Amino acid sequence: MPKLGKFISSFEVKPVALSLVIGPSVGLMIILFFSLYTIFNKLSTLAFSLSNYTILFLPTLGLVLSYLIVKKLAGGNAGCGTHKLLEAYHYEGGTLYLKDVSVKAIASALTIGFGGSAGLEGPSLLLGGGVASALGKRLNLSQKDIKVCLLSGSAAGLSAIFKAPLTGILFTLEMPYQRDLAKEALIPATISSILAYLTTVQVLGYETLFPLTPRISFPTSIMLAHSVVIGILAAALGIFFTFFFRRLNLLSKYNLLYLSILGGVILGFIGLFMPQVLGVGYGTIRSIVSDNTYAITIYFLIALIFLKIFATSITLNFGGSGGLFIPSIFVGALLGSLYSKIVFNNLNIGIVMAAMAAFIAATNKTPLAGVAFVAETSGPSSIIPTLVAAVVSYFSSGKSSFYREVQPIKEPVEEEKALALLYHLIKEKRILDRLEMIKIKEIMKSEPVSLTENLSIRDAMEICKKHGYRVYPVVTKDGLLLGHVTIEDLIAFPEAKWGLKVEHVLKVSCHINRRRQPKVSHVNNG
């Protein structure tokens, strides 16, 4: 029984239990959000049926309304929902306010419903995270637990909007870091994703996002070689997309109301000649996956790729709100179709699917989620080539990502977290407000990791390796504080002298005063 209790306590019990509520709650919220988007989309379609020229004004209406309601009601700017979610996870202690995310969901429905080029997954992630964060704060959970709940809610949101629970789980685990996983969210995210999916399909049905593709034969070495090439091409195009998107973001420091008007006008003129670029683009992706694009020329496909990149960057940087996942899928599908036309002179559905997953891996740094998304929404048609292309693209694209500022390479150690938070607050000019909210008890360590003076340097190095801190207090066997050492102090000693005691390092780095020194409670020697 003691072993069973220890095993159970190793999981975050509160987030796991709360995920049973988070899943259905987020599922219901996504149903409301999708219904609102459908209403705006139908109004837009009705207006377009009356006159083709209404497309010149609808995107402007969507962007301006999106900007105004977010500015007035949520006290911030619109943009990519995934970016806001990662910002909350890394720098806001997992805190999202339900009012703010609800306003941004409405703004996204307006933006995309009236023709803005963006995805529904951004607001769905944000809405799911906001519901979970609000529940966690209401129950007075710790900051660590709230962050886990945030990821659990975001997984539920993605699962519900795409009807793809595995994608929601994997995207949530991969999203926070470029080369690491948020492992603590695995169980809660799994539970909430499944429950959100089951809740949503009861109302919206089980139909997948794209038509299921026929099963492809076992991949040959030639097919795998093409997968490697498409992975490299997706990485190159992904680097361009992220670079252009981030560069255009620099313009957002100017008057966003004027930019919203300008961006809407630009989108309107693009839509007049290429309406496929606007909105979520599900119809275009379905056509590609269903092999209905045989009559489209190579030049038209190239134009669609770059106009989609341009339109999406305009939408999300000029006052609109939405996500970048589906635009990445759109561009990836077009890239696969273009490659198929040039190399095979007809559509190779395996290449198209591989290109979609590869482009997601390059721009979002979520290779497994991209593969899962393709398998769940189009069918498990060619998993191995798709996985090969995604992995090649993931590594070939390096650190390029839409969310680079809020997506660390790996989970940082405590000191790196503090510096990252400080930098972010200074950058956002919110340092004083944030510092006034922080209490000492929130940042103190109740069980500090310390070193005893008679510990060998070799053993001390093992403790440093295990815990990852930079500075360690040094105490006597009775817990009397003598001073501190840093990793640099320990490393300065050659390995041949690692048998020496820590007290020798202490004498080098600081003066010892054994009188009137406080005792360190909860001493931990690793």
Q: CB 386: neighbour CB atoms within 10 A? A: 31
The residue type of 399 is: K
- In 3D, which of 246, 272, 268, 522 has the Cα closest to residue 404? 246
pLDDT given for residue 10 in this prediction = 41
- Cα separation, 281 vs 293, in Å, equals 14
- Domain locations in the chain? 2-204, 221-406, 414-443, 451-509
- Tell me if the pTM is above 0.95: no
CATH number for the segment(s) 451-509: 3.10.580.10
CATH architecture of 221-406: Orthogonal Bundle (1.10)
* Helix spans in 365-413 (H): 367-378, 383-396
pLDDT given for residue 110 in this prediction = 94
pLDDT given for residue 509 in this prediction = 44
pLDDT given for residue 80 in this prediction = 83
Tokens 């770059």 belong to which residue? 306
pLDDT given for residue 523 in this prediction = 45
Q: How far is CA 222 from CA 118, 217, 227, 340, 347, in A?
A: 35, 13, 9, 14, 16
pLDDT given for residue 443 in this prediction = 62
pLDDT truncated to tens, each residue of the chain (526 aa)?
444 444 444 445 788 888 899 999 999 999 999 999 999 999 998 988 888 888 889 999 999 999 999 888 877 777 788 888 888 888 888 888 889 899 999 999 999 999 999 999 989 999 999 999 999 888 888 888 899 999 999 999 999 998 889 999 999 999 999 888 888 889 999 999 999 999 999 998 877 776 666 666 667 788 889 999 999 999 999 999 999 998 888 887 777 888 899 999 999 999 888 888 998 888 888 777 766 655 678 888 899 999 999 999 999 999 889 999 999 999 999 999 899 889 888 778 888 889 999 999 999 999 999 888 888 877 666 788 899 999 999 999 998 899 888 888 877 655 555 555 555 555 555 555 555 656 666 566 667 788 888 888 888 888 887 777 778 888 887 778 888 888 777 777 777 778 888 877 765 444 444 444 555 554 444 4
Same fold, 2-204 and 451-509: no
Q: Which of 1.10.3080.10, 1.10.8.420, 3.90.1310.10, 3.40.50.720 is the CATH number of 2-204?
A: 1.10.3080.10
